[in-house]
Amino acid sequence: MTVSPLPATELVFYEDSYVSSFDASVVGVEGNAVALDRTAFYPGGGGQPADAGRLLGERALTVVGVRREGQTIWHELDLAEIAAGMPAVGSAAVGELDWERRYRLMRTHSALHILCGVVWRDYGASVTGGNMEPLRGRMDFEFDTMRQELVREIEEKINEEVARARPITSRILPREEAFAIPDLIRTKINLLPAGIAQIRVVEIEGLDLQADGGTHVRNTSEVGRLRVTGYKSKGKANKRIELALEDD
């Protein structure tokens, strides 16, 4: 018997990062995970962790993990809570994000783009790595040397960009059109697979434009004040800058 492939999940978070609750239908069940026809849960990637939250149907179930498999997003449910049974294929559900955590990640991700934009614009340094958690993040750059005076200068500049209240927008472009944009890829190595036909780009108006699949705030002013909490060498021409955001 041939099993029909699941339909591609509609990525609500691509269209609007501020959706925190959404209606959906269960289209697949596998182990402790369900696939939905649409979702606002970000599955993780690009250094941004996956979302958490709840799935509401006949009862409330905790979403403990989110992953992408091809064009399908799977929502992993708490094992203890599904002892009474999994949601049925075809059943209706309401997804609710842990919004406080998500919004902090949005602020943090946008903060790292501000940092990336300033470092690229003023120092021409490529990104060699990065990661984040709510209100904290780090980014590695191709710097030969890093000193305290330079770090403090960068901290001052990124806070100036926060204060400028620059709009942050996203759009999806055909691959050929996207790669015609100069300096679209800021990482040292192009991490975008060759088979991707459409590229999502995130722009901080007047500062930064790069390929990115994560979630962001709408304006740099939402990021809040930034502090460089540390810097270190991670090897020759590889220097790390660590950031913290003020709690909201």
Q: Round to whole Å and give the CA distance between 240 and 141.
A: 6
Give the pLDDT of residue 189.
Answer: 47
- For 119-155, how does the pLDDT look when each residue is reduced to its tens digit (9 = 90+)? 999 999 999 889 999 999 999 999 988 999 999 999 9
Second-level CATH architecture of 102-245: 2-Layer Sandwich (3.30)
Residue spans of the domains in the chain: they are 10-97, 102-245
Domain 10-97 belongs in CATH node 2.40.30.130: yes
- For 147-204, how does the pLDDT look when each residue is reduced to its tens digit (9 = 90+)? 999 999 999 999 999 999 999 999 888 877 877 776 665 554 445 555 567 788 899 9
Give the pLDDT of residue 195.
Answer: 59
Q: Is 132 exposed, middle or buried (0-12, 13-18, 19+ CB in 10 A)?
A: buried
Give the pLDDT of residue 198.
Answer: 79
Give the pLDDT of residue 186.
Answer: 55
Give the pLDDT of residue 1.
Answer: 30
pTM for this entry: 0.91
The helix or strand, by DSSP H or E, that contains position 10, with its residue range, turns out to be strand 10-11
Comparing 136 with 5, the larger pLDDT belongs to: 136
Round the average pLDDT of the chain to a whole number and report it: 91
